[in-house]
Amino acid sequence: MTGMKQLRSQSWFARQDKNGFYYRSWLKNRGLPQDQFDGRPVIGICNTWSELTPCNTHFKTIADHVRWGVLEAGGFPLEFPVMSLGETMLRPTAMLYRNLASMEVEESIRANPLDGVVLLMGCDKTTPALLMGAASVDVPTIGISGGPMLRGVYKGSYIGSGTNTISMSEQLRSGEITLSEYHEAESCMHRSQGHCMTMGTASTMACLVEALGMGMPGNAAIPAVDARRNLLSRLAGRRIVEMVKQDVVLSKIITREALENAVRVNAGIGGSTNAVIHLIALARRLGIKMDLDDWDNLGRGIPCLLNIMPSGKFLMEDFFEAGGLPAIIRELGARDFLHKDALTVNGQTIWDNNKDAPCWNRDVIHEFDTPFKPVGGIAVLKGNLAPDGAVLKPSAASPALMKHTGRAVVFESIEDLRARINDDALDIDEHCVMVLKNCGPKGYPGMAEVGNLPLPPKLLQRGITDMVRISDARMSGTAYGTVVLHCAPEAAAGGPLALVRNGDLISLDVEARTLTLEVADEELDRRRAEWRAPTAKSNRGYVKLYVDHVNQANDGADFDFLVGGSGSGVPRDNF
Ligand code: FES
């Protein structure tokens, strides 16, 4: 293997001493021949398979295809598990553990004899956790998303992950459907392996993996159970060996330009608000400056091109059959909303990969001049209620509420909300602004996806389907509504959200990008002096570490001590 940079794995395997014996001999216990240690690239297959993460249960198969690709290219594959984050199971919220998983990924890669790594990612938080961890090591890396589930279909109509969970739950609460219909829909919605098949956070992040250049072309939308997902995995296995030989480390792919491409693609697909937090955190692992203003500025002028739930009516399988993300990237590139020279993991630029991408269905993927919705992107709001910013997804909001002033109805916590929301005596009407406090990174802790507050049943029964809602929480990418999220600083950190009281007037003006608490400064100062931080949820263990070190949402909600990277240097001997 001449001409190649010294492989870090050779610090383990090329040694002809006691330590080399340890490193090789124990691996030989499953029948590996001596020639596996001859200087060929060692490729880690970082697997988030878990039965507790239903979206990732097919990852053993994907890992096998990556393994075969690595072997075909003359590499040495070694699969390893990392903490898996199942969005539906993990309490209090999978986001609490994103940073923990990223630490495990980072340290697992650096501490082992790995020259390159393939990341297997699917359910929401597994993608940012693995990307962030790998970024802080910076070896050659390819991301493979698990792919979306097949369409959900119930009584002849599409039902999408999360999106219809929310709408059908409200229908059950208002008496429109029965409990047995509700149970039947559970089986109809999720009928194959894969992740949520709406444009939720998992699909959004899979798109951004491809937009960043970190995934092979087609990564975003091939269904989990389509044989072409296996083919992509096998080709990725072959390619990562080449990337090691060419020393194409992750930081050559994820550049400022690549991140800007991802932000613009997120606008074009009407992607999840969660992507804002994850991409800012990822950028900062690489020392790249990115903030909320970048999200607002870069996404301006880009319409939503994709008719998919929660903003539209189709599902990821339709997106794939219509041409997938390449067709979106082509639309953006044709309008110069793309850094065309950004390098991707297959060795080509993003424009080379996508400039001739076809589209087979313009009902699903719209052209730039006839978009699905005129405004994509993320609106970043600022004002005395969110001095460090808050976000709103215009494509999922009601146009009639984009400029609105209303009376605040305040819930001090998620428990307070659940205790009172179904009470017919609650003093609320459709013009009010619902405010939820103490659900931010420190407050929940973990910043749960509770920002799309359920509407009071008495308003649902009157046919009200949306109201302005404001919180320091996140929202599932599968959710919708005129929902202001990620208010920073959060209430539990003493942000102005903590000072809102029932009856205050709040003004939202999305066009002007403002969010204003219409209360005099002197009164707010008085309330601030009275404010007391909520009692700590835990005084030990990981939750304490989290609360003590988590950054605010506008900084990516990473741990303060994880920002940046420590590189891929080989640690000192263990013997
Ligand atoms: Fe895993 Fe939605 S629950 S992607």
Total-model pTM? 0.97
| Calpha distance 343→331 (Å, rounded) | 18
pLDDT category of residue 163 using cuts at 50, 70 and 90: confident
Query: What is residue 350's predicted lDDT score, i.e. its pLDDT?
Result: 98
Q: What is the mean pLDDT of residues 147-166?
A: 94
What lines the ligand 1 site, CB under 6 Å?
Answer: 55, 87-88, 123-124, 161, 195-196, 200, 202
Closest C-alpha to 553, from 487, 492, 495: 487
Q: Which domains does the chain have, with CATH numbers?
A: 151-191 (no CATH), 379-534 (3.50.30.80)
Q: Which amino acid makes up residue 479?
A: A
Using DSSP's 3-state secondary structure scheme, residue 573 falls into coil
pLDDT for 151 beyond 70: yes
| CA 440 to mean position of chain CA atoms | 17
For 350-399, the pLDDT digits (tens) are: 999 999 999 999 999 999 999 999 988 899 999 999 999 999 999 889 99
Q: How far is the CA of 272 from the centre of ligand 1 (A)?
A: 13
Nearest C-alpha to atom 1 of ligand 1 is from which residue?
Answer: 123
Q: How far is the CA of 334 from the centre of ligand 1 (A)?
A: 32
Pocket test for ligand 1, best of 127, 161, 475 (most atoms within 8 A of CB): 161
Query: What is residue 2's predicted lDDT score, i.e. its pLDDT?
Result: 47
Nearest C-alpha to atom 2 of ligand 1 is from which residue?
Answer: 196
Q: What is the mean pLDDT of residues 207-221?
A: 98
Pocket test for ligand 1, best of 49, 51, 121, 124 (most atoms within 8 A of CB): 124
| Calpha distance 147→220 (Å, rounded) | 7
Query: What is residue 3's predicted lDDT score, i.e. its pLDDT?
Result: 61
Nearest C-alpha to atom 3 of ligand 1 is from which residue?
Answer: 87
Q: How far is the CA of 392 from the centre of ligand 1 (A)?
A: 21
Residues 6+ positions from 447 with CB-CB distance below 8 Å? 93, 95, 439, 440, 441, 472, 473, 474, 486, 553, 557
pLDDT category of residue 1 using cuts at 50, 70 and 90: very low
pLDDT for 407 beyond 90: yes
Query: What is residue 536's predicted lDDT score, i.e. its pLDDT?
Result: 82
For 436-468, the pLDDT digits (tens) are: 999 999 999 999 999 999 999 899 889 999 999
pLDDT category of residue 189 using cuts at 50, 70 and 90: very high
Residues 6+ positions from 107 with CB-CB distance below 8 Å? none
518-556 burial, b if ≥16 CB within 10 A, otherwise e? ebeeeebeeeeeeeeeeeebeeeeebeebbeebbbbbbb
Q: How far is the CA of 305 from the centre of ligand 1 (A)?
A: 23
Give the DSSP letter string of 315-355. -HHHHHHHT-HHHHHHHHHHTT-S-TT-B-TTSSBHHHHHT
pLDDT for 204 beyond 70: yes
Q: Residue with structure tokens 């420190």?
A: 442
Q: How far is the CA of 436 from the centre of ligand 1 (A)?
A: 24
Among 168-182, 197-211, 252-266, 277-291, name the one with the lowest average pLDDT: 168-182
Q: Are 51 and 59 in contact (CB under 8 A)?
A: no
- What's the chain's average pLDDT? 96
Point out the ligand 1 atom lying closest to the alpha carbon of residue 55. 1
Q: What is the mean pLDDT of residues 170-178?
A: 87
Pocket test for ligand 1, best of 52, 56, 87 (most atoms within 8 A of CB): 87
**How far lies 8's CA from each of 32, 159, 242, 546, in Å?**
20, 48, 15, 32
